[in-house]
A and B are shown apart, each in its own frame.
Chain A
Amino acid sequence: MYVSVKGGETAIGHAHAWLAEARRGDTALAELSTAQIEQQLSLAVDRVMAEGACADRGLAALALKQARGDSTEAAFLLRAYRTTLPRFGYALPVDTAAMAIHRRISSTYKDLPGGQVLGPTFDYTHRLLDFALEAEGLAAPPPAAEAKEEAGRMPAVTAILAQEGLMAPDLASDAEPPDITREPLAFPADRALRLQAMARGDEGFLLSLGYSTQRGYGNAHPFVGEIRMGEVRVEIEPPELGFAIDIGDIMVSECQMVNQFAGTAEAPPQFTRGYGLVVGQNERKAMAMSLVDRALRAPELGEAATAPAQSPEFVLYHCDNVESTGFVEHLKLPHYVDFQSELEKIRAIRARWFAERAP
């Protein structure tokens, strides 16, 4: 337990002044604007937005600038800011099947209805550093190629499998989901709660857990049924209006992970799915989330839950990087009284140890 301390204002003031100067860096160089961060470090912005659980690219860019690019610190800033705003209400669930597609791929069907479009992806790049980007005053890249046709509507892959009865359906309902921003996390945590926690969870943590399920810690045999990324419309139903209004678009990344399932006495053998949905462009996290979502469904599907990724307590209590960093980093705050008692105890134990061994 840490104890409150007094004093140190001058030192703290000087430390923060140094921090501000270090944040700015060499003043001979132009200052980075938040608009530049938003535009040119957009995936860092998207990550902060998702983990900060507040979809606002401008705020996420500001948080990144203030945090000197530290994404966890930036997510923390965003979480803190969102607590100052009133809640207007809940939006209607976004319809990802009606997404304005920028990217849509499947690793299960080569020729699926609607086809595959790669979108702006790092896939198939050679991962060689491009030193041309080091030069200043580069000419703008040529505009992206445009086809004559427009990419059309793309039905969800899971719907294709479901038609044949090969895919376990997700029960359609309009049950009011729990909300961890209003109620503390409690167990057993139902799937809606798990998905909300993971959507704001740390990408690195979910990535490692997802990877662990592939390596044998959990019984995963996953296929990417579909990854899609694009804009979905957001609708709300203000009580004073009594009808739904469209309040704009938001970019999301979605992953449908298809997994084996042997079937039970009640359910025939069929595929089951794990689901990942993240705001912004972040398919790595959407994929990791879908792997862990599927792993967490083990008890519901009658599978033995033996691996960390299959334990809701393990995953949900540790996936939030703001909480994790809060508890880890609190260790550097003054624990003088605690430690004083530890010191006294170990001195007494050592004295007895030496006394017992005295000739």
Chain B
Amino acid sequence: MAVLARAAADALRPHCARLPPHTRLRGPEIGLVMLRGRMGGDGAPFNLTEATATRCTVDMAGRMGHATVLGRDMEKAELAAMLDAALQDPALRPALLAAVIAPLAAEQAERRARDARRAEATRVQFFTMATMR
């Protein structure tokens, strides 16, 4: 789910063309999720802001697939729900994990790693007269 939620519809679409037919049980529909933070980062929760999200539930050969993703891309939510259903099918799962999930996960991990390398390149060592701790 985490991988599908971060993928673009364009990346999911080619893998959904040959999936078994599905029927929509709910959505795709756009709505709001209220995000929460914690006081001081680790205290009691508080409501931060709403964010748009899109959800979709499909039935694929008796298996229910569900997706909720941040943003307003209805096609992406439906494709993710279809893949969620297909991934529950033991006959389809290994191929989908290898063809869809693993490459997308690698791509997303590389994007995160690139940001972390960029952040690391801005690591700063300030020199002061003070020594402390």
Contacts and interface: CB of A to CB of B under 8 A. Distances in A.
A149 B117 contact: yes
A146 B114 contact: yes
Contacts of B69: 247-248
Contacts of A105: 124
A144 B116 contact: no
Nearest to B40: A170
A151 B119 contact: yes
B33 A89 contact: yes
A138 interface: no
Given A54-B49, A82-B50, A94 B119 contact: no
Interface in B17-68: 29-53, 55, 57, 66, 68
Contact of B33 (A90, A102, A147, A195): A90
Interface stretch (B89-97, B98-106, B125-133): B125-133
B31 A88 contact: yes
A279 B63 CA distance: 36
B47 A177 contact: yes
A interface: dominant SS: mixed
Contacts, number: 248
A248 B5 contact: yes
B117 A150 contact: yes
Contacts of B46: 177, 191-193, 195-196
A89 to B, nearest CB: 6
B51 A250 contact: yes
Interface string A274-288: 010101000000000
Nearest to A58: B72
Interface in A160-188: 169-181
Interface residues of A, number: 88
A20 interface: no
Residue of B6, B46, B130 contacting most chain A CB atoms (<10 Å): B46
Contact of B53 (A174, A195, A247): A247
Contact of B41 (A97, A119, A146, A174): A97
A85 interface: yes
A88 B32 contact: yes
B10 interface: no
Nearest to B44: A173
A30 B127 CA distance: 48
The 10 A-B residue pairs whose C-beta atoms are closest, nearest first, are A170-B43, A248-B70, A150-B116, A170-B40, A55-B51, A246-B2, A147-B120, A192-B46, A146-B117, A151-B119
26 contacts: A53-B50, A54-B32, A59-B52, A90-B47, A91-B34, A100-B115, A110-B128, A117-B123, A118-B124, A119-B119, A146-B121, A150-B120, A151-B117, A172-B42, A181-B34, A181-B47, A191-B46, A192-B44, A192-B45, A196-B46, A231-B115, A234-B51, A246-B5, A247-B53, A247-B68, A248-B6
Given A82-B50, A150-B120, A196-B46, 10 more contacts: A54-B50, A90-B36, A91-B51, A103-B122, A150-B113, A150-B116, A156-B41, A234-B51, A248-B70, A248-B71
Interface of A: 49-50, 53-56, 58-59, 82, 85-94, 96-97, 100-105, 109-111, 115-119, 144-152, 156, 158-159, 169-181, 191-193, 195-196, 199-200, 230-231, 233-234, 236, 238, 240-241, 245-250, 252, 254, 256, 273, 275, 277, 279
